[in-house]
Amino acid sequence: MSNMGVYAEFHSLASKLQAKFSKSGLAQMEVFTQRQIDHHLQSSSKETIPDAERTDFVSKLLEMHKAQPDKISLENVFMACLTNVGAGSDTTSISLSAILYYLIKSPDKYKKAGFLPIENLCNQKANRPKLRDEIDESYSSGEASRPMTYQQSQRLPYLQACIKEGLRLHPATGLPLARVVPKGGARICGRFFPEGTTVGVNAWVMNRNPTVFGPDADDFRPERWLESSERASEMDRHLMSFGLGSRTCIGKNISLMEIGIALPEIVSRFDFELLKPLEELKTENVWFVKQKNFACWVSLRQK
């Protein structure tokens, strides 16, 4: 699908060949999605968990279907679930992995030690607490429950800065986000583009723009988000990990919630060691930019 987005002239031929010879890709996702819906329909008819107690997406959508079957058809439920799986799974896991990867691999200390449990990372010059300290303190002071809620995680500035910085350095999508120049054309970066031209910016380029993010834009430095609120909102306005404008990601807040809840649990419970600490990170860009060699030893936290 990604290749066809780039080489659109081959789309018609490729989709015919795919339909005849291959049941991979979207077809697999459709089978998976239908299985989840069928499973819910069957288990809710057995009344194992009362419908009102279910809090997952499929149950909520099926509830909406039950309440207004003429407005929300089973096909609508299927499409919404398919979008969640297709647009929300790899993107969120890639982003969470990116944040963890950069937390584990702090460049200055990493070279000396070769191994870094997560608590040694993000050692700031200023007197802000390290990530693990911040999380531990929020548990011990009773400010956060375990696992913490999304609202509680939003009150941890260093955690939020680490999330933003990971999302910035490794946006989950790696092709230009296309837009069509409207009527009358547009002047962009000093060049005129006639109406109808497809233009786009890749988040990997935008997110490392030194004019916006500073001369050290290639470095993982969560502190940049905490230095001045003016600068932080300027960077926020340009952060393109979820796209920008009217077609911005509709699942952004769901993912930020998932990451905001999962990351404190992971960081406070486990130590990490890269399997091949000297190896550069390898990625594969098939619209989603997947990490290929981010393998770790994971152990229960020592102290």
Cite the annotated binding site for heme by residue number: 249
Q: Does 34 bind ligand HEM (CB under 6 A)?
A: no
Find how far residue 178's CA is from the centre of its chain.
Answer: 19
Q: Does 4 bind ligand HEM (CB under 6 A)?
A: no
In the block, tokens 């930020």 appear at: 256
Binding mask 170-209 toward ligand HEM (x if CB under 6 A, else -) reads --xx---x--------------------------------
Closest approach, Cβ 246 to ligand HEM, in A, equals: 7
Whichever of 190 and 245 has its CB closer to ligand HEM, that residue is 245
Round to whole Å and give the CA distance between 10 and 23: 19
Tokens representing 163?
Answer: 């999330």
Binding positions: 249
Closest approach, Cβ 47 to ligand HEM, in A, equals: 28
Closest approach, Cβ 300 to ligand HEM, in A, equals: 27
* Residue of 136, 113, 92 lying closest to 262 (CA atoms): 92
In the block, tokens 């939020």 appear at: 160
Q: Does 87 bind ligand HEM (CB under 6 A)?
A: yes
Q: Is 235 exposed, middle or buried (0-12, 13-18, 19+ CB in 10 A)?
A: buried
Whichever of 116 and 288 has its CB closer to ligand HEM, that residue is 288
* Residue of 179, 196, 301 lying closest to 240 (CA atoms): 179
Binding mask 64-83 toward ligand HEM (x if CB under 6 A, else -) reads -------------------x
- For residues 215-274, which are near ligand HEM according to CB under 6 A? 241-245, 247-251, 254-255
| Contact by Cβ (8 Å): 166, 98 | yes
Q: Does 84 bind ligand HEM (CB under 6 A)?
A: yes
In the block, tokens 């699908």 appear at: 1
Closest approach, Cβ 261 to ligand HEM, in A, equals: 13
Q: Does 214 bind ligand HEM (CB under 6 A)?
A: no
Whichever of 217 and 254 has its CB closer to ligand HEM, that residue is 254
Q: Centre a 10 Å sphere on the Cβ of residue 218 and count the other Cβ atoms it contains.
A: 11
Among 18, 88, 136, 273, binds ligand HEM (CB under 6 A): 88
Whichever of 175 and 226 has its CB closer to ligand HEM, that residue is 175
Q: Centre a 10 Å sphere on the Cβ of residue 134 and count the other Cβ atoms it contains.
A: 19
300: which residues sit within 8 A by CB, 6+ positions away? 269, 270, 271
| Contact by Cβ (8 Å): 184, 106 | no
Among 33, 44, 58, 95, binds ligand HEM (CB under 6 A): 95
Half-sphere exposure of 44 (CA within 13 A, CB side): 18
Whichever of 83 and 149 has its CB closer to ligand HEM, that residue is 83
Footprint of ligand HEM (CB under 6 A): 83-84, 87-88, 91-92, 95, 172-173, 177, 241-245, 247-251, 254-255
